[in-house]
A and B are shown apart, each in its own frame.
Chain A
Amino acid sequence: MKEMNDIPNEVLTLLESKAFNELTKEEQSLVLSYVSEKDYKDYQSVIHDFKAIDSALEFDDSLPDLETTAAAKETRSKSNPIYRLAAGFVILILGGLTIWDLSNKPLDIDENVVEMQEKTQSIDPRLVEMRMEIVKQSIETEEIQIGTSLANEDFPEDIALEFDALMMGGGTTRDNF
């Protein structure tokens, strides 16, 4: 087959306008010296499909108000730095207000924490002593080395309080603070 860069314009015209079986014998002979019949049909299919997509694209080709469009573009390009400065200033103010607001706002305290505080303050000391005895006995059986003596007077009081809190289902006081 001959080189495509030498292909006559006539072949390109035929490709767009005539199916292979519509070509005259002379036209077929010309076409076949450059492309096969199969390729001719395939190329036609590609061109046809592309034109279908291309022609489906929609445009409003009525003349817009070009004077207004030109003026709007010029205004935007001139005032752009001012708009940017203004936007930056607003962001700065809003950022400052947000930071000030956050620093002055009191921390929300979990209601459970308040409730737990109230409960621990109202525990009967005799009940605490009983709990301490139970906890001490359970730790002694496990022989855990905690660096703290298990003698009564050295036994950490808050563990008993934590045990009580666990029983009440509210987690440990240590967790809440």
Chain B
Amino acid sequence: MQAKPKMISINGIKSTSDEELMRSFSQFKDETTFAEIYKRYFASLSKYIGWLSSNIEQGKDIAQNILLKVYQEPSAFDASRNFKVWLFSIAKNQWKNELRSDAIKEKYLQNLRVVPEEEEPKDEMENKVLLKKALAKLSENHREIFVLKYSNNLTIKEISKICACSEGTVKSRLFYAMKYLKDQLKTKEY
């Protein structure tokens, strides 16, 4: 039997699970509750789409659109499911829809902008640029898994559900991605 939703106090909000927050928000439409959800996921959703599209600004726009939809229709989420997997699956589908636009395709190969630190040694900056370029060249399937693991910190199980593949496939793609990036960086060093 599903627990009855309850209004969450501000003190307890940080320790409350995503699913419980969504249940509460769906019932009470409390802005404070949704603000917590937004805070937890805006950056990671933006980065996920940003790395997929190689355009962080686009990532932010799409992330905001997705969270706006969640805000407007919280009942679309089934609280018995994993909220994180649900949210990232929506983000993945949203990105695929965006790719249908020719204008978005044009921008697809742009690199992410990284603001360099003033004191950063030149060779470290070059390495970061090389890594960004190598990541952009990686196939989307491999890049996606690498990003979900090391940017969004999802588990192998969660990634397998989002990508609709087995955990074994996730692992082999992950290592393929790391090997590819390693080889690309080694090639450019010489």
Contact = CB atoms under 8 A, between A and B. Distances in A.
Interface of A: 3-7, 9, 12, 16, 35, 39, 42-43, 45-47, 49-54, 56-59, 61-64, 66, 69-70, 73
Interface string B68-82: 100110000000000
A5 B39 CA distance: 34
Contacts of A53: 112, 114, 128, 131-132
Given A5-B168, A63-B31, A50 B131 contact: yes
Contact of B150 (A7, A9, A51): A51
Given A46-B181, A51-B150, A66-B71, A59 B60 contact: yes
A43 B182 contact: yes
Interface in B70-124: 71-72, 112, 114-115, 117
B132 to A, nearest CB: 7
Q: Is the interface of A mostly helix, strand, loop or mixed?
A: helix
A57 B50 contact: yes
Contact of B68 (A4, A51, A66): A66
A66 B71 CA distance: 8
Interface in B14-46: 31, 34-35, 38-39, 42-43, 46
Nearest to B177: A46
Contacts of A49: 127-128, 131
6 contacts: A4-B171, A9-B155, A16-B150, A46-B131, A50-B146, A57-B47
Determine the interface band of chain B, counting residues with CB < 8 A from chain A. Answer: 35 or more
B64 A56 contact: no
Given A61-B42, A70-B72, 14 more contacts: A4-B174, A5-B166, A6-B168, A7-B175, A12-B149, A16-B150, A45-B182, A49-B127, A51-B150, A51-B151, A57-B56, A57-B112, A63-B38, A69-B68
Contacts of B168: 5-6
Nearest to B178: A43
Q: Among the interface residues B166, B182, B185, which one has the most CB atoms of the partner chain A within 10 A?
A: B182
A56 B185 contact: no
A35 B179 CA distance: 11
Nearest to A67: B71
Interface string B157-184: 0000000001011011011101101100
A63 B35 contact: yes
B38 A61 contact: yes
Interface centre among A39, A45, A46 (most CB of B within 10 A): A46
Given A5-B168, A9-B156, A59-B43, A50 B150 contact: yes
Interface in B115-155: 115, 117, 127-128, 131-132, 135, 146, 149-151, 155
Nearest to A35: B175
Contacts of A5: 166, 168-169, 171-172
